[in-house]
């Protein structure tokens, strides 16, 4: 018997967004469009922030482009988000989950008949990532400290990040409380080449209560799990200030990103960013190279084959854009903090 084709939820969501009347959907969700507002050539339509304000400082995209359905707050109170994240953030009393909202939206345009009866069949992992309500933000410090403290034991004596990573560092890197398949995690967003003009294309999730995430009986435990498109730039604070930064440091992974941002704090002219797709990914460095235009860049990777290969890729792609780019190898006797202190 031929294997039954798996339902493509990502393709369905794109089809749903294209079919919906975006303006009508957002108005039904509580958004007020600015008086006499008309969408521009790029599809942005001016509106008031959720909850009301004196002057409209937000916008939704109703155009037929990659931004369609995105809500952006031009005052910077929240990052850009798609309809799903908007519903999860502002409309939980109306829709207890995205699964419920998705079916109700599909009914509006007759696409509910295309959905499988089992709403969990073939779901991508990102559909099970639930960013916690902002009202839970008061608990962030508690959970962040649990992650930092870790659970050292005889086999993992260095499981603690105390002294190297701080709650402030986690916040600066964009960390948010989240639930992934019923497990408490801290999710770090990663953006594509358009950065904050669009919603994050993925999140890298780390467990709060252990150093390993156990996602199922047939899945090997991992220290972190990437949810969504496996490629993007991480380091919210560094990306926000990349244009005014004198120096950019690009470490190999999340732990070094957090360590360096903790050491630098918010009062710095150094931007720290990394990528979410591993040390040797090839497409992203080429796509984002123009963001490094005219900057002095240091690539901090481990002194192993993968680290050296990744450094070579980034240096090759950035070389035509930066004023200076250099590679620094990290080993047991020289870590990221040692290097950062040497250039501060």
Enter the DSSP assignment of 263: H
Of all helices (H) and strands (E), which one includes residue 47?
strand 44-47
Cβ-based neighbours of 160, under 8 Å, separated by 6 or more? 148, 149, 150, 152
Mean pLDDT of the chain: 86
Residue 156 half-sphere exposure toward CB, CA atoms < 13 A = 11
Please, where are the H alpha helices in the chain? 9-19, 22-28, 83-90, 98-108, 140-149, 167-172, 236-240, 254-264, 283-288, 305-318, 336-343
Q: What is the pLDDT of residues 244-264, one digit of tens each?
A: 999 999 998 899 999 999 999
Per-residue pLDDT at 330 exceeds 80: no
Task: Judge contact between 100 and 92, C-beta under 8 A.
Answer: no
Distance CA 29, CA 20 (A): 13
Query: Across the strands, what pairs with 60?
Result: 45, 71
CA 117 from chain centre, in angstroms, equals 30
pLDDT in tens, 159-191: 678 888 999 999 999 999 988 887 889 999 999
What was the pLDDT predicted at 1? 42
89, pLDDT greater than 70: yes
- Structural domains of the chain, ranges and CATH numbers in brackets: 9-123 (3.90.580.10), 129-343 (3.40.1360.10)
Helices (H), 265-332: 283-288, 305-318
Q: What is the pLDDT of residues 271-312, one digit of tens each?
A: 999 999 887 788 888 899 999 999 999 999 888 888 889 889
Single pTM value for the model: 0.76
* Section 137-154 average pLDDT: 76
């Amino acid at each position: 018997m031929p294997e039954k084709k798996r339902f493509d939820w990502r393709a369905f969501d794109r089809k749903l967004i294209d079919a919906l009347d975006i303006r009508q959907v957002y108005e039904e969700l509580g958004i007020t469009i600015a008086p006499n507002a008309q969408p521009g050539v790029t599809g942005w339509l001016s509106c008031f922030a959720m909850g009301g304000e004196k002057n409209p400082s937000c916008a939704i995209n109703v155009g037929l482009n990659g931004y369609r359905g995105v809500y952006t707050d031009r005052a910077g109170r929240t990052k850009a988000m798609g309809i799903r994240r908007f519903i999860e953030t502002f409309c939980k009393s109306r829709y207890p989950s995205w699964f419920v909202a998705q079916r109700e939206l599909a009914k509006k345009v007759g696409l509910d008949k295309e959905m499988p009866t089992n709403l969990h069949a073939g779901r991508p992992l990102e559909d099970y990532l639930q960013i916690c309500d902002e009202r839970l933000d008061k608990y962030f410090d508690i959970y962040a400290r649990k992650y930092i403290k870790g659970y050292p034991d005889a086999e993992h004596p260095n499981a603690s990040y105390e002294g190297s990573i701080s709650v402030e560092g986690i916040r600066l890197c964009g960390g948010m409380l989240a639930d992934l398949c019923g497990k408490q995690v801290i999710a770090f967003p990663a953006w594509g080449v358009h950065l904050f003009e669009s919603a994050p294309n993925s999140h890298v999730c780390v467990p709060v209560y252990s150093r390993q995430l156990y996602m199922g009986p047939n899945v090997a435990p991992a220290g972190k799990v990437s949810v969504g498109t496996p490629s993007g730039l991480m380091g919210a604070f560094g990306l926000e200030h990349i244009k005014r930064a004198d120096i950019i440091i690009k470490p190999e992974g999340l732990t070094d990103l957090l360590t360096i941002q903790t050491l630098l704090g918010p009062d710095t002219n150094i931007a720290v960013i990394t990528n979410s797709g591993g040390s040797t990914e090839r497409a992203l460095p080429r796509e984002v190279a123009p963001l490094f235009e005219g900057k002095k860049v240091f690539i901090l990777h481990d002194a192993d084959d993968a680290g050296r290969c990744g450094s070579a890729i980034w240096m090759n792609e950035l070389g035509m854009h930066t004023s200076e780019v250099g590679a620094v190898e990290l080993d047991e006797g020289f870590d990221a903090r040692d290097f950062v202190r040497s250039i501060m």
